[in-house]
Structures are given as C-alpha cells and as structure tokens.
C-alpha cells in the first residue's frame, strides 16, 4: 500500500505494519492562550516569544502539549483584530492522568508562564487571556472540535524540528530565527513531541519515525496560510 502523508511535502511511505495502543479514558483539558502587544513594542515582542518557547520543554515535562502560532503586524476580521498587533495564540492540551491535574492547576501553569516571560516589561506592554474548558474525555473534545470541513488549506510551508538545545541554549539565536520567519506572516510552533516520544519503547526496536523526533520537542513551520485555516485548534 503506497501512501502519501498530507502532513508534509513529498513524504511517501509503504505501510508494513500498524500498532494500535489503547489508553485509559481520562478528563481532557484545553486552554486557549492569547498574548499580544502593539507593533510599537519593537524588540520586546521577539524577546518574549523566544523566552516563551524556551519554556516548552519544561511544559512538556508537566504533561502539556500545544498547537501555537505567532504573527507580527497581524490583523484579522475573524478575530475582530482591526488594528495591527504582534500576537501569539496557543491551544494547550492536558490529559488529566493524576488527581492533582485540575483546570485550576492547568491554568496556573500557563498564567505563571505568561507572567514570567512578560515580567521584564512595564505593565500594559502586553495583554493576555487564558480560557480553559474541561471535557470528560478526549473523544468528547475531538468530536465537537474536528471534522472534514474545518481543517486544512492550500499554501507553501517550510518546517523544522526543534530540540531542547535549539529552544533553550541561545535565546538570541532563537529570537533571530523567529524574526526571520516573520516574512511569511505566520509561524507555527507545535509542541507535539517530547518525553513521551523520546522515551518510547518501539516494538521490534525501530519504526518509520524520523530519528530527529526522538530528541525534538517542537515542529515549527513558516507558511503563508490564513490563520483561519487552522480554526480546528481553537
């Protein structure tokens, strides 16, 4: 069976086997995080973005994953953003595997992270919101937020896998890399790998996963899609 992955350009593979794992059903929390500033804030926006993404490995260690986007000088009629802003939008997920996992503890981690990365700047330089919804299980969230009519779009994309060193070792280099992607208008930062992938015990010792995933945390992309093409995540 010859298949083409729709997740990336020119990726083909032959399926030789499939492993399906069952997991216990747990409550599932989703939090939409918005962080923005005016374009007049200048370098402060990029400093905060680099600092925020450097926190992703530690957020992963706490069980969080997310789909996030940043865009400079951004407007959107859909989101009622009529004047340009430099913005960040993230959809964070947490499977509540332990009794101490609550919506309150989930929000506290996110709000504390936002407060930490924006602390060096005067009050009102940045504005933010954190909105959390609890679902009884993953399926309840999935069936109401995903479907054939609200995902995908045509566009050009270039992407990279970012490991812990890329995210934490040199924030100046990370900042400059993020600024370089601004030419496309929107940059995605998907925290979709991490300790679960790094420490996976693979039946047979190997599989078709790109070895770089075994050390990466973030799948980052620079593209010219409209943000509404990714409404699936919000």
**CA–CA gap between residue 55 and residue 177 (Å, rounded):** 17
Say if residue 229's pLDDT is above 50.
no
What's residue 159's pLDDT? 85
Higher-pLDDT residue of 184 and 147 is 147
Asked if the model's pLDDT at residue 6 lies above 60, the reply is: no
Residue 43, pLDDT > 50, answer yes
Pairing relation of β-strands 81-95 and 28-37?
Answer: antiparallel
Which secondary-structure segment (H or E) carries 107?
A: helix 103-118
Q: Is the pLDDT of residue 15 over 90?
A: no
Query: Does the structural domain 27-233 have CATH classification 2.60.40?
Result: no
- The pLDDT tens digits of the residues spanning 155-200 come to 667 789 999 999 999 999 999 999 988 765 789 999 999 998 898 8
Confirm if 30 and 93 have CB atoms less than 8 A apart: yes
pLDDT digits (tens, 9 = 90+) for 51-98: 999 999 999 999 999 999 998 888 878 778 888 899 999 999 999 999
pLDDT at 66: 96
pLDDT at 4: 36
Q: What pTM was estimated for this model as a whole?
A: 0.85
How many Å apart are CA 101 and CA 166, to the nearest integer? 29
- Any residues with CB less than 8 A from the CB of 90 and at least 6 apart, and which? 32, 33, 66, 67, 68, 69
Segments making up each domain of the chain, as ranges = 27-233
- Token pair listed for 16: 């030789």
pLDDT class for 21, splitting at 50, 70, 90?
Answer: confident
Alpha-carbon gap, residue 34 to 139, rounded angstroms: 25
Cα–Cα distance measured from residue 141 to residue 138, given in angstroms and rounded to the nearest whole number? 5
What value does the mean pLDDT of the chain take? 84
Q: Please report, to the nearest 10 degrees, the dihedral formed by the alpha carbons of residues 59, 62, 68, 73 taken in order.
A: -30
């Amino acid at each position: 069976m010859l298949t083409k992955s729709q997740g990336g350009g020119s990726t083909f593979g032959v399926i030789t086997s499939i492993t399906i794992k069952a997991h216990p059903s747990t409550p599932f929390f989703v939090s939409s995080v918005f962080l923005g500033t005016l374009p007049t804030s200048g370098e402060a926006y990029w400093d905060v973005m680099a600092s925020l993404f450097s926190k992703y490995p530690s957020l992963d260690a706490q069980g969080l994953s997310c789909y996030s986007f940043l865009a400079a000088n951004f407007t959107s009629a859909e989101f009622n953003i009529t004047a340009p802003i430099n913005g960040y939008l993230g959809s964070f997920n947490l499977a509540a595997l332990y009794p101490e996992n609550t919506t309150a503890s989930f929000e506290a981690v996110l709000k504390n992270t936002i407060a930490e990365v924006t602390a060096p700047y005067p009050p009102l330089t940045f504005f933010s919101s954190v909105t959390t919804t609890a679902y009884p299980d993953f399926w309840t969230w999935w069936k109401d937020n995903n479907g054939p009519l609200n995902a995908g779009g045509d566009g050009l994309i270039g992407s990279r896998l970012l490991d812990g060193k890329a995210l934490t070792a040199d924030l100046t280099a990370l900042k400059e890399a993020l600024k370089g992607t601004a030419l496309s208008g929107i940059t995605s930062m998907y925290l979709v790998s991490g300790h679960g992938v790094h420490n996976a015990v693979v039946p047979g010792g190997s599989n078709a996963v790109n070895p770089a995933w075994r050390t990466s945390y973030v799948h980052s992309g620079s593209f010219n899609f409209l943000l509404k093409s990714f409404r699936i995540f919000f």
